[in-house]
Structure 1
Amino acid sequence: MFYWLMKYVFVGPLVKAVFRPWVIGAERIPAQGAAILASNHLSFVDSVFLPLLLDRPVSFLAKAEYFSGRGVKGWATKWFMRGTGQIALDRSGGPASEAALNTALQVVGRGDLLGIYPEGTRSPDGKLYRGRTGIARMALEAKVPVIPVVMVDTGDVLPIGSKLPRIMRVGAVIGEPLDFSRYAGMESDRYVLRSVTDEIMVALHRLGNQEYSDEYASTVKNRLAGV
């Protein structure tokens, strides 16, 4: 109910009226049944716009920091993320990350749509970076298709570090579903996971034509920060 109110009563109509988002390939999202949406990640608002463009609810794995902020902004962000069904992902590794991944598997297990950013973090410069293999593991374990999604111009609406969005049109391009059933039972093979992940990133690159860099976005962010 709260998701419906957010999408169709409170946030959705306002965002659509102001930003006039567009979508190509929406018919490639199945009317029912589980699937994983693999999206590039240019901005925080990727998780805002994409669900508004689809007829079905979609839950995204979102970094845990979005759920633990303080003050009015922190409360508002946490309220929005929970209200739209987002899942907190602890990226520190270990049991916490495992628990988040298991929660994500429950989403597709009940036949819903799960959104994942394979790069693991927002692109620091608009390039498409190497994918993390967690998405491959989930796709093989859940036995569901992966649908590539490219967000367009969201990085210009709310660049990293910006507090207020710019008013401009944004969009999404949805590609053909990818079937990895040929790898059934091989979700523990790290070479298979790497191959599946790379195939997903190639699909994203072809769909959006972003410049690709074969290193992790987090590595680039650390280098830029002097870490």
Structure 2
Amino acid sequence: MTAASVDPDFVDEAAAPGPAKRPGFVYFLGYGIMAPIARLVFRPHITGRENIPETGRVILASNHLSFIDSLVIPLTAPRPVQFLAKSTYFTGTGFRGWISRTFFTAIGAVGVERGAGQAAQDALDAGRRILESDSAFAIYPEGTRSLDGRLYRGRTGVAWLALTTNSVVVPVGLIGTQEIQPVGARLPRIRRVTVKFGEPIDVSRHGTADSGRARRRATDEIMAAIHDLTGQELANEYNETPPSGVVQRVAQAILRPERR
């Protein structure tokens, strides 16, 4: 679940809760322990770390191939990075719940509810608050993992966030993370991955956040930059979650032509 999974045409500009909480002791302790171990075990090939501004608002917009992506980006970036994750990772009970909360807090995750409508708006607002605290925020414009390795069309939430918060966008290309933890695998495998941080993009020249055309053009520019880094085959369509029932299949068939 990410804020990128929603086209924010409906987003209410009503006052949001206060500023996002910056990563604290648990994050830096976890980073200090996990980063050296991950680099020793997985030996990631990293390029372009200098493209990430040391301070200020920055969106790391990445392709999405595996659950492990949300661990790889924070552990290879040169500054603390936050991202959105399912709220259930933070609400478990007992020892297992504690482990989950501690782990996701340590890698910079912020819990949000899944869903559309108000839940989608809350996710966008959470991303906005993170950026407005002059932090780095990672997002997957495709909305969900690519199961076939292709690069899907980006959703315009990433552009809305960039234009609303006046944030620079750094495209990220992940290569090989699906080999570490393929879909359905419980435990990661030892495989070498490549992480490419591209040159920063200023999307403000496309227009303002309230312009659908500006958001679409900015998103397409970001996705083109990600494609340049990864070389993935282009899907030229949205990465939709397969409908689970008859009603959902009918609704998707009716509404899909309207998604542009």
Query: By how many angstroms is 1:21 displaced?
Result: 1.6
Could you tell me whether the CA contact under 8 Å between 1:145 and 1:177 is conserved in 2? yes
CA distances 1:33-84 after superposition (whole Å, capped 9, x unpaired): 1110000001111111111112200001224454456786665334311232
Corresponding residue of 1:211? 233
Could you tell me whether the CA contact under 8 Å between 2:83 and 2:138 is conserved in 1? yes
Corresponding residue of 1:195? 217
Q: How does 1:165-184 map to 2 (within 5 A)?
A: 165-184=188-207
1:46 aligns with 2:65: no
Using the TM superposition, name which of 26-35 and 60-69 deviates more.
60-69
1:5 aligns with 2:29: yes
Return the alpha-carbon distance in structure 1 between the equivalents of residues 216 and 93 of structure 2.
Answer: 37
Return the alpha-carbon distance in structure 2 between the equivalents of residues 116 and 210 of structure 1.
Answer: 18
Could you tell me whether the CA contact under 8 Å between 1:87 and 1:100 is conserved in 2? no
Could you tell me whether the CA contact under 8 Å between 2:151 and 2:227 is conserved in 1? yes
1:85 aligns with 2:111: no
Could you tell me whether the CA contact under 8 Å between 1:157 and 1:167 is conserved in 2? yes
1:194 partner SS: helix
CA pair 222-150 structure 1, distance change in 2 beyond 3 A: farther
1:139 aligns with 2:179: no
| Paired letter, 2:177 | T
| Paired letter, 1:193 | R
Query: By how many angstroms is 1:165 displaced?
Result: 1.2
CA distances 1:158-191 after superposition (whole Å, capped 9, x unpaired): 011001111111120111111112245x212222
Return the alpha-carbon distance in structure 2 between the equivalents of residues 49 and 166 of structure 1.
Answer: 14
For the pair shown, which has the larger CA radius of gyration, 1 or 2?
2
Using the TM superposition, name which of 94-103 and 27-36 deviates more.
94-103
| Paired letter, 1:204 | I
1:37 partner SS: strand
Could you tell me whether the CA contact under 8 Å between 1:119 and 1:217 is conserved in 2? yes
Return the alpha-carbon distance in structure 2 between the equivalents of residues 71 and 118 of structure 1.
Answer: 34
Corresponding residue of 2:255? none
Could you tell me whether the CA contact under 8 Å between 1:124 and 1:217 is conserved in 2? no
Query: By how many angstroms is 1:131 displaced?
Result: 0.9
Q: How does 1:29-178 map to 2 (within 5 A)?
A: 29-67=52-90, 76-178=99-201
CA pair 65-130 structure 1, distance change in 2 beyond 3 A: farther
- Unaligned runs of 5+ residues in structure 2 are 1-24, 250-260
Fraction of identical pairs, as percent: 44
Query: By how many angstroms is 1:139 displaced?
Result: 0.5
- Unaligned runs of 5+ residues in structure 1 are none
Could you tell me whether the CA contact under 8 Å between 1:68 and 1:78 is conserved in 2? yes
Return the alpha-carbon distance in structure 1 between the equivalents of residues 114 and 122 of structure 2.
Answer: 11
1:212 partner SS: coil
How many corresponding residue pairs? 222
TM-score by length of 2: 0.78
Could you tell me whether the CA contact under 8 Å between 1:22 and 1:53 is conserved in 2? no
